[in-house]
Amino acid sequence: MTSKSRKITQREIARIAGVSQTTVSTVLNDREGSTARIPAATRARVMEAIERSAYVADPAARRLAGLDNQIIGVFTYEPALSPESMDFYGPLLNGIERSAETLGCDLLFFTSSPVQDGRRKLFHRRTRLGLADGCILLGQEMDGADLDRLVDERFPFVAVGRRDETDARVPYVGIDYAAPTVDLIDRAVGLGHERAVYVHRGRETATARDRRGAVQSPAATRQIRTTLITDEDLTAVAGTVRDAGATLVLAEDAFLAEEVVHVLQTEGFDVPNAVSVAALAEVRGHRIGERALTGFHVRRRQVAAEALALLQRLITTAPEEWDALDTQRLLSADLEAGETVVERRPA
Amino acid sequence: MTSKSRKITQREIARIAGVSQTTVSTVLNDREGSTARIPAATRARVMEAIERSAYVADPAARRLAGLDNQIIGVFTYEPALSPESMDFYGPLLNGIERSAETLGCDLLFFTSSPVQDGRRKLFHRRTRLGLADGCILLGQEMDGADLDRLVDERFPFVAVGRRDETDARVPYVGIDYAAPTVDLIDRAVGLGHERAVYVHRGRETATARDRRGAVQSPAATRQIRTTLITDEDLTAVAGTVRDAGATLVLAEDAFLAEEVVHVLQTEGFDVPNAVSVAALAEVRGHRIGERALTGFHVRRRQVAAEALALLQRLITTAPEEWDALDTQRLLSADLEAGETVVERRPA
DNA sequence: GCCGGGTGATAATGCGTATTGGCGGATGAG
DNA sequence: CTCATCCGCCAATACGCATTATCACCCGGC
């Protein structure tokens, strides 16, 4: 073997097959029409030259010539492949990889983006964003300017997570926490609970508002009285529970739930027999003592799959017609029964 | 805002700044020389136009013009981001991501490669390999044809894992199991062991030969007598141990070690008090009852970092001078003390 | 013998960037 | 006054591919 093969181009193939570069291109893309007809014999000759020389098209040239590339960009605001971020990013990346595989797309991770204020910047002088046909954005919080610019440039992208707070036109696939929150409360009511405390982090993100909204919604307040407090002074939790006569504590996320339980137990509460506890977020892998924490489960793999499907639709649709598309999608989190919300014991 | 911004090119910038496209390119790459001199005033004018219009270079065009792209390809023979592969790929990918970040490179995952015979094929008609400046190959076993072709085409790449069996010219970063195997045996001898059994999988890979070679090396056999058996009939292990009067069992990997222990315990052996056990491979996370398994630890993050460093050297070196480079590198696995190799009790 | 129409191809062009080889004008040396 | 520099800039070109516009040829009909 050991051909000194530098780089095989269509021109090279053309020379071997005794045709023009145009013909090679036509054969490769089997483009047929009144303007370009290739008889079987010629086609075969060209094909053979291609097979024998193991030609592969230069993706850069294809891209420059205006074709798409089957490359999907993946941007994360922090390192995605570190052990710490794996809990969050792992299932998402897995879902993305699987979808990309079936779509026949490669994945371009923008790991080179310079870090500013502790998070990566999507746009910079040497960004390779333009190589991708579209881009998936991952991260707990994103830069509004980045999103605006993507929208302005009509670059196909999809954010994972609710993003309507920054720009109403941002396409996203997010999680609905409101519906399962109401479900969870229903279930607690069914177990006899009448007073609850909701401990939240006082954030003003869309999902935080969603959860508060659900807790304070008519559907919920009709059945249970809930006192809201923030995590600023966790030691106050015990007092609030006592004062409100609450038998159920909801926490904004699983970590907060764990802290709250610790405080309650220190104050002599029996969890969950005297006070039930649940988190309004992902709880897989979180336990309170021996018991699995009650809360939600988010099917992240499915979120990723939906995001890629949406992105694919954007890529294959002309920007002018994006308005007609349904580009903002919410998936409901699943209720994860767990074992920390139990029947209310008569006092 | 809301510029209808299609795509800003150097020509556009040139028009705004009242110069030629050549000048813009020169400023951008601050190329200076007798052939192209730009006075500060012009440079400033151009720079301002660039800043204001938020210009970013088209990577495809750059690539086509022969420059490098700061893109490193990552090829795995099976899905890399699935939960099952994470044990193996996780630390490697993490190391790659970190190195890429400091090198300012993006990562292109070739997830689109069509699957054939249960593993992905690197080369296909639409491969985007050419977009990358170089490529990292990951996977337990690789396709020799792929490696040959990469070598032939002088495409910069580095395989993770020993690959000298396929082609002597394949650049790789692998793990040395021979040295730590001898170390492990030394230590066992120091604890009084005189007879051992090595249970291996009967494979003919480079690393498998390495381990067998180390076990049977003069340095080892001088101190301890080792009987080799394969995993074909694990129930035979107990008999072999008894017949050989062995007090130490070495297994080719941690999973095999676990199986072996199970067999031994079923047969009434006290592990590790009567029979010590160790694996000649990664053991982190593996336990025998309450005890951490003795064996090796592979610093995969470091392996990845070395691989990227080597790849970078290949990329920045002309192919004609690759021969002068040291392109095959072995890193020694660390001894992981564990608790399953203990002092030999007098019978 | 001329014309229309279909067939099988190709030359020319463009995509956005980098680079080579100038070119006109000013300045300085002889 | 002439010739050689040097300065500041630009036209032209290449990169590999896709696409548009043509072109030469042959065949049949009139």
Q: Each residue of B253-301: pLDDT tens digit?
A: 999 999 999 999 999 999 899 999 999 999 998 999 999 999 999 999 9
- Name the token pair of A35: 């303007």
Interface check for B343 against chain A (CB to CB < 8 A): the answer is no
Asked if the model's pLDDT at residue B4 lies above 70, the reply is no
Per-residue confidence (pLDDT) for residue B318, from 0 to 100: 82
Do residues B70 and A128 touch, judged by C-beta distance below 8 A? Answer: yes
pLDDT beneath 70, residues of chain A: 1-6, 346-347
pLDDT higher than 80, residue B3: no
Distance CA A197, CA A278 (A): 11
Retrieve residue A123's tokens: 């746009």
For B245, the token pair is 């009067």
Three-state secondary structure call for residue B201 = coil
List the single residue in A with minimal CA-CA distance to B149.
A2
Round to the nearest angstrom and report the end-to-end CA distance of chain A: 85
Q: State whether A112 and B125 contact (CB < 8 Å).
A: no
Instruction: Classify residue B127 as exposed, middle or buried by CB count within 10 Å of its CB (0-12, 13-18, 19+).
Output: buried
Kindly state whether A108 is in contact with chain B, defined as any CB-CB distance less than 8 angstroms.
yes
Kindly report which amino acid residue has its CA closest to the C1' atom of nucleotide D10: B20
CB of B166 within 8 A of CB of B206? no
Cα gap B246→B244, rounded to integer Å = 5
SS3 state at B11:
helix
Angle between helices B300-315 and B83-103 (to 10 degrees): 50
Say if strands A106-109 and B106-109 run parallel, antiparallel, or are unpaired: antiparallel
Q: How many helices (H) and strands (E) does chain B have?
A: 12, 16
Nucleotides of chain D within 7 Å of a protein C-beta?
A: 7-12, 14-22
Contact B301, B94 (CB under 8 A): yes
Beta strands in A289-333 (DSSP E): 291-292, 294-297, 328-332
pLDDT at A153: 84
Instruction: Give the containing element (helix H, strand E) for A53.
Output: helix A40-53
Could you tell me the CA-to-CA distances from A167 to A142, A159, A174, A200, A212 in Å, in that order?
12, 12, 15, 25, 22
A293-316 in b/e form (b: 16+ CB < 10 A) is bbbbbbbbbebbbbbbebbbbbbe
Please identify residues in chain B, positions 40-59, with a C-beta within 7 angstroms of any atom of strand D: 42
Question: What average pLDDT does this structure show over B327-343?
Answer: 94
Contact indicator for A158, A136 with CB cutoff of 8 Å: yes
pLDDT at B321: 84
Rounded distance between C-alpha atoms, residue B140 and residue B3, angstroms: 50
CB-based contact A101:A94 (threshold 8 Å): no
- In which band, very low, low, confident or very high, does the pLDDT at B87 lie, cut at 50, 70 and 90? confident
Residue B175: CB partners within 8 Å, gap ≥ 6? Answer: B161, B162, B207, B298, B303, B330, B331, B332, B333
Q: How confident is the model at residue B2 (pLDDT cuts 50, 70, 90)?
A: very low
Apex A248 CA angle, A247 and A251, nearest 5: 150
Amino acid in the structure at residue A335: L
CA–C1' gap, B32 and C20, in angstroms: 14
Which of B54, B59, B81 comes nearest A131 by C-beta? B59
Tell me the C-alpha to C-alpha distance, in Å, between residue B45 and each of A57, B14, B262.
39, 10, 76
Between CA A196 and C1' C30 the distance (Å) reads: 101
pLDDT at residue B6, as a whole number = 65
Tokens encoding B196: 């051992």
pLDDT at B185 over 80: yes
pLDDT of residue A161: 85
3-class SS at A245? Answer: coil
* Strand A328-332 to A172-176 pairing: parallel
In tens, the pLDDT along B21-38 reads 999 999 998 877 777 788
Cα distance between residue B192 and residue B346, in whole Å = 9
Max CA pair span of chain B: 93
Distance CA B23, CA B25 (A): 5
Q: Do the beta carbons of residue A42 and residue A23 sit within 8 Å?
A: yes
Contact A106 B128 (CB under 8 A): yes
Give how far A84 is from chain B: nearest CA, Å: 10
Q: What is the pLDDT of residue B17?
A: 92
C-beta separation of B260 from B198 below 8 A: no
Confidence (pLDDT) at B256: 95
B39's tokens: 């006075």
Q: Tell me which chain A residue has its CA closest to the CA of residue B59.
A: A128
In whole angstroms, give the CA distance from residue A203 to residue A220.
Answer: 21
Q: What percent of chain B has pLDDT over 90?
A: 65
Question: Is A2 close to B81, i.e. CB distance below 8 A?
Answer: no
Given a cut of 60, whether residue B5 has pLDDT beyond it is: no
How much is the mean pLDDT over chain B? 90
Render A200-236 in DSSP notation, one character per residue. Answer: E----SHHHHHHHHHHTSHHHHTT-EEEEEEGGGTTH
b/e sequence A14-40, b meaning 16+ C-beta within 10 Å? bebbebeeebbbbbbeeeeeeeeebee
Strand ranges inside B51-114, DSSP E: 71-76, 106-109
Say if residue B187's pLDDT is above 60.
Answer: yes
Q: Is B65 near chain A, with CB under 8 Å?
A: no
Cross-chain residue pair A56–B123, CB shorter than 8 Å: yes
